[in-house]
Structure 1
Amino acid sequence: MKKGSFCLATFIRIVYMRLIGFCILYFSLVAGSHADECPVQLNPERVIVEFGGSVSADCSTSVQHKGMGWEASEGAVPKSQDSLITWRVSNLTEWDIKPLCYINHKEQCTVTLPVTIYKTPDSVSISTVNHTGPMMEGNQYELQCDVLNVAPVQNLTVNWYKGQTLVDQTIFTDTIHTPVSKTSKLLIRPDRADDGAQYWCEAKLELGEEGPQPPPTAPSKHLNVEVYYKPKHSSSTETININDELTLNCTVKANPSPTYSWQSEHLKETIKSSVLLSSTLSSGNYTCIASNSQGRDSKVFILTSTGPSMEKHIQLLSAVYCRSLLLEEPLDSHSSENSVGRRRLYLSTTDHQPFNRAPFVRSTVFLNTFNMLQYFCGLVYLFAVLLFVTLTGSHAAECPLQLNPERVIVEFGSPVSVDCSTSVQHKGMGWEASEGSVPMSKDSLITWNVSELREWDIEPFCYINYEKQCTVTLPVTIYKTPDSVSISTVNHTGPMMEGNQYELQCDVLNVAPVQTLTVNWYKGQTLVDQTIFTDTIHTPVSKTSKLLIRPDRADDGAQYWCEAKLELGEEGPRPPPTVPSKTLNVEVYYKPKHSSSTETININDELTLNCTVKANPSPTYSWQSEHLKETIKSSVLLSSTLSSGNYTCIASNSQGRDSKVFILTSTDRTTFWPIILSVVAVAVAVVLIVSYVIFKRRASWNAVI
Structure 2
Amino acid sequence: MLLVWMLGFLMLIFSVCAGFPFTLTPSEMVVRFGDPVSINCSTSATDVEGMGWEAPFGGTGFKPPPVVTWRVEKLEEWAPSPFCYVTLVDGEQYTAKPDITVYKTPDFVSVSDRGRGPMVEGREHDLKCDVINVAPVQNLTVKWYRDNETVQTETFNDSTMTPVNASSSLRISTQRNYNGLTFRCEAELHLGPKGPKFLPNVTSPPYTAVVLYKPFLEACPDHVTVVENAAFSIDMLSCQPDGNPPPTVQWFYEEKLINPSKSLTRTDSGKYTAVVENSLGRSDTSVHITVEFSPSFTCKEHYEITVNDKQQSTCEPVGLPTPTLTWFKDGKQVVSPQRWKKNDSGKYLLNAHNTHGTAEHTLYLDILYAPEFKEGNESKEVLQENKVGRNTRFITLMITGNTSKVLFPAIWALLALLIIGLTLLMVYFHNRQKKRGQYSFVPVCQMSNIAQANGNA
What does residue range 25-424 of structure 1 map to in structure 2 within 5 Å?
36-64=18-46, 65-105=48-88, 107-132=92-117, 134-234=118-218, 238-243=222-227, 245=230, 247-248=233-234, 249=237, 250-265=239-254, 267=256, 270-271=257-258, 273=260, 277-279=263-265, 281-304=267-290
CA–CA separation in structure 2 for the residues paired with 1:183 and 1:131: 17
The alpha-carbon deviation at position 263 of structure 1 amounts to 2.3
The alpha-carbon deviation at position 130 of structure 1 amounts to 4.1
* Equivalent in the alignment of 2:440: none
Structure 2 CA distance for partners of 1:35 and 1:253, relative to 1, 3 Å: closer
The answer as to whether partners of 1:261 and 1:288 remain within 8 angstroms in 2 is yes
2:249 maps to a residue whose letter is Y
The alpha-carbon deviation at position 169 of structure 1 amounts to 1.0
SS in 2 for 1:252: strand
The alpha-carbon deviation at position 46 of structure 1 amounts to 0.9
CA–CA separation in structure 1 for the residues paired with 2:255 and 2:77: 85
What does residue range 445-456 of structure 1 map to in structure 2 within 5 Å?
none
* Equivalent in the alignment of 1:367: none
SS in 2 for 1:202: strand
SS in 1 for 2:240: coil
CA–CA separation in structure 1 for the residues paired with 2:42 and 2:68: 6
CA–CA separation in structure 1 for the residues paired with 2:23 and 2:58: 18
Structure 2 CA distance for partners of 1:302 and 1:45, relative to 1, 3 Å: same
CA–CA separation in structure 2 for the residues paired with 1:231 and 1:292: 6
SS in 2 for 1:154: helix
The answer as to whether partners of 1:42 and 1:58 remain within 8 angstroms in 2 is yes
Identity %: 37
The answer as to whether partners of 1:287 and 1:299 remain within 8 angstroms in 2 is yes
CA–CA separation in structure 2 for the residues paired with 1:257 and 1:35: 74
The alpha-carbon deviation at position 80 of structure 1 amounts to 1.4
Q: Tell me, which stretches of 5 or more residues in structure 1 are unaligned?
A: 1-33, 318-323, 325-345, 353-705
Greater relative CO (CA pairs within 8 A, separation 6+):
2
SS in 2 for 1:66: strand
Structure 2 CA distance for partners of 1:236 and 1:38, relative to 1, 3 Å: same
CA–CA separation in structure 1 for the residues paired with 2:30 and 2:361: 102
The answer as to whether partners of 2:266 and 2:291 remain within 8 angstroms in 1 is no
What does residue range 528-539 of structure 1 map to in structure 2 within 5 Å?
none
The alpha-carbon deviation at position 143 of structure 1 amounts to 0.5
The answer as to whether partners of 2:252 and 2:272 remain within 8 angstroms in 1 is yes
Q: TM-score, normalised by structure 1?
A: 0.38
Query: How much is the aligned-residue C-alpha RMSD, in angstroms?
Result: 3.4
Structure 2 CA distance for partners of 1:255 and 1:282, relative to 1, 3 Å: same
Structure 2 CA distance for partners of 1:49 and 1:350, relative to 1, 3 Å: closer
The alpha-carbon deviation at position 277 of structure 1 amounts to 4.3
Q: TM-score, normalised by structure 2?
A: 0.57
Structure 2 CA distance for partners of 1:215 and 1:242, relative to 1, 3 Å: closer
SS in 1 for 2:227: helix
CA–CA separation in structure 1 for the residues paired with 2:255 and 2:288: 12
What is the CA deviation profile of residues 1-49 of structure 1, one whole-angstrom value per residue up to 9, with x for unaligned ones? xxxxxxxxxxxxxxxxxxxxxxxxxxxxxxxxx9921211000111111
Structure 2 CA distance for partners of 1:272 and 1:90, relative to 1, 3 Å: farther
What does residue range 527-566 of structure 1 map to in structure 2 within 5 Å?
none
The higher radius of gyration belongs to 2
Q: Tell me, which stretches of 5 or more residues in structure 2 are unaligned?
A: 1-15, 296-319, 326-331, 333-348, 352-358, 363-457
The alpha-carbon deviation at position 251 of structure 1 amounts to 3.0
What is the CA deviation profile of residues 613-642 of structure 1, one whole-angstrom value per residue up to 9, with x for unaligned ones? xxxxxxxxxxxxxxxxxxxxxxxxxxxxxx
1:271 maps to a residue whose letter is I
What is the CA deviation profile of residues 96-150 of structure 1, one whole-angstrom value per residue up to 9, with x for unaligned ones? 2111111123631111111111011122111012402x22111111111111111
1:117 maps to a residue whose letter is V
The alpha-carbon deviation at position 241 of structure 1 amounts to 3.1
SS in 2 for 1:78: coil
What is the CA deviation profile of residues 336-378 of structure 1, one whole-angstrom value per residue up to 9, with x for unaligned ones? xxxxxxxxxx9x88599xxxxxxxxxxxxxxxxxxxxxxxxxx
The alpha-carbon deviation at position 272 of structure 1 amounts to 5.9
What is the CA deviation profile of residues 414-465 of structure 1, one whole-angstrom value per residue up to 9, with x for unaligned ones? xxxxxxxxxxxxxxxxxxxxxxxxxxxxxxxxxxxxxxxxxxxxxxxxxxxx
CA–CA separation in structure 2 for the residues paired with 1:87 and 1:94: 15
The answer as to whether partners of 2:127 and 2:171 remain within 8 angstroms in 1 is yes
SS in 1 for 2:265: helix
* Equivalent in the alignment of 2:356: none
What does residue range 614-653 of structure 1 map to in structure 2 within 5 Å?
none
1:258 maps to a residue whose letter is P
* Equivalent in the alignment of 1:539: none
The answer as to whether partners of 1:158 and 1:204 remain within 8 angstroms in 2 is yes
* Equivalent in the alignment of 2:315: none
Structure 2 CA distance for partners of 1:276 and 1:251, relative to 1, 3 Å: farther
CA–CA separation in structure 1 for the residues paired with 2:361 and 2:179: 66
SS in 2 for 1:253: strand
Equivalent residue pairs, number: 288
The answer as to whether partners of 2:136 and 2:163 remain within 8 angstroms in 1 is yes
What is the CA deviation profile of residues 307-327 of structure 1, one whole-angstrom value per residue up to 9, with x for unaligned ones? 759xx99x999xxxxxx9xxx
Structure 2 CA distance for partners of 1:239 and 1:113, relative to 1, 3 Å: same
The alpha-carbon deviation at position 303 of structure 1 amounts to 3.1
CA–CA separation in structure 2 for the residues paired with 1:233 and 1:351: 46
What is the CA deviation profile of residues 662-690 of structure 1, one whole-angstrom value per residue up to 9, with x for unaligned ones? xxxxxxxxxxxxxxxxxxxxxxxxxxxxx
Structure 2 CA distance for partners of 1:171 and 1:277, relative to 1, 3 Å: farther
What does residue range 537-616 of structure 1 map to in structure 2 within 5 Å?
none
CA–CA separation in structure 1 for the residues paired with 2:17 and 2:218: 82
CA–CA separation in structure 1 for the residues paired with 2:105 and 2:255: 70
SS in 2 for 1:230: strand
Structure 2 CA distance for partners of 1:280 and 1:185, relative to 1, 3 Å: farther
